[in-house]
Amino acid sequence: MFLKNCWYVAAEASEIGRKPFGRILLGEPVVLYRKEDGTAVALEDRCCHRRAPLHRGKLVGDALQCGYHGFTFAADGACIKVPGFDRLPFKEAGVRAYPLVERHRYLWIWMGEAAKADPSKIHDFHQNDDAGWASTTGVIPVAANYLLLVDNLLDLSHVGFVHGSTIGSDDSSATLEFEKGDRTLKVTRAARNIDMPPHMRRLGIADKGDMVKLITFTPGSNISIDIIWGGAGGPLAHIMVINSITPETEDSSHYFWGNARDFDVKNEKLTAYFREQTLIAFHEDKDILEAQQRNIALDPDTPEISVHGDWGGVQARRLMGELITAENSRRGLAAE
């Protein structure tokens, strides 16, 4: 169902502390916590004894004790203590430990083969913690398949309809350009002299402007939207919308979002304003996507049609399908 050999956002770094935190990722239960030195840990959230969720247990130093029968696991997943036994009653018992990297205010997890976990392959979201940018972030649970969110973000023709009172403006006159790389898709939307979005007009930046949106997709499901507004007097605004969608199950997702800007970066009130407006807009997306998922669930085989602007979503589905098929084929050969 999912591509395993790639990096996904497991949590915002600020979500995880000394209290065990459980989250379903790619259909698997995962528990996250920080060791005493602050290093983050990701383990299978399923005790090897009776499969109780470990996030309901407690930390004992850097180890995690199951809250059901007290089995205790080291940060590498090895079982190190069983109550009532001076020596462990079995060998090589434990739970799975996942590679985890903290970067750009996120905790990135590798759910596939640990030996292939290369941190250099983590998507570049440096705007989240770059001093030249002001960023606000969040996570939204969405009861929809992750590819529906990918569709939504790669085809931004919806913004004038779904987000007409918030971040959207009518850019139906935009020209579209598409580019396909080895594991990258790029969509460029460019429009001249269109209305600025309502949330930008309220700031008094301008009533109209030229807009370019550079949308970049990389597997598993990371999408950067670089938005550049300009006018006759020069640059008006530059915003980076950060999107990383981690599947929870086949029909639910964790949507990690960020909104960063490179102007007036010390203005905390402006940052709070962008956070408010972005949250309103993304909950508008959540509403339509969840309704879409419910319709799909009623009849998954109902045919769809696609138009020119759907190129990004169609190509993303095709790319992910190819990667998942290839990964499953290699896994099958290894099992033989």
Q: pLDDT (tens digit, 9 = 90+) per residue, 115-147?
A: 999 999 999 999 999 999 999 999 999 999 999
pLDDT of 97? 98
| Ramachandran angles phi, psi of 152, nearest 5° | -60, -40
User: Which tens digit of pLDDT belongs to each residue from 199-225?
Assistant: 989 999 899 999 999 999 999 999 999
pLDDT of 333? 60
- The predicted model gives 266-271 an average pLDDT of 97
pLDDT of 249? 98
- pLDDT band (50, 70, 90) for residue 234: confident
| Ramachandran angles phi, psi of 86, nearest 5° | -75, -35
C-alpha pair distances (Å), 269 with each of 14, 66, 276, 307: 21, 43, 11, 40
Query: Which helix (H) or strand (E) segment is 295 a member of?
Result: helix 268-298
How high does pLDDT run on average in the chain?
94
pLDDT of 87? 81
pLDDT over 70 (residue 334): no
Distant-in-sequence, close-in-space partners of 213: CB < 8 Å, separation ≥ 6: 156, 187, 188, 189, 190, 225, 226, 227, 228
Q: For residue 68, what is the DSSP state? A: T
pLDDT over 70 (residue 228): yes
Calpha distance 17→11 (Å, rounded)? 11
Architecture of domain 126-324: Alpha-Beta Complex (3.90)
Of residues 206 and 331, which shows the higher confidence score? Answer: 206
If one looks up domain 7-121 in CATH, what number appears? 2.102.10.10
User: Which tens digit of pLDDT belongs to each residue from 19-36?
Assistant: 999 999 999 999 999 999
Q: Report whether 49 contacts 69 (CB < 8 A).
A: yes
Largest CA distance in the chain: 78
Q: Where are the beta strands (DSSP E) in 61-207?
A: 63-65, 72-73, 79-81, 100-103, 106-110, 134-142, 175-180, 185-195
pLDDT over 90 (residue 60): yes
CA-closest candidate to residue 92, choices 78, 102, 104: 78
Share of the chain above pLDDT 70, in %: 99
User: Which tens digit of pLDDT belongs to each residue from 272-316?
Assistant: 999 999 999 999 999 999 999 999 999 999 999 999 999 999 999
Of residues 330 and 185, which shows the higher confidence score? Answer: 185
Beta-carbon-side half-sphere exposure of residue 213 (alpha carbons within 13 Å)? 22
pLDDT over 90 (residue 17): yes
For the chain, give every domain's residue range. 7-121, 126-324
Question: How many other CB atoms are there within 10 angstroms of residue 131's CB atom?
Answer: 6
Calpha distance 181→89 (Å, rounded)? 53
The alpha carbon of residue 130 and the mean position of all alpha carbons in its chain are separated, in whole angstroms, by: 19
- pLDDT band (50, 70, 90) for residue 154: very high
- pLDDT band (50, 70, 90) for residue 331: confident
pLDDT of 79? 96
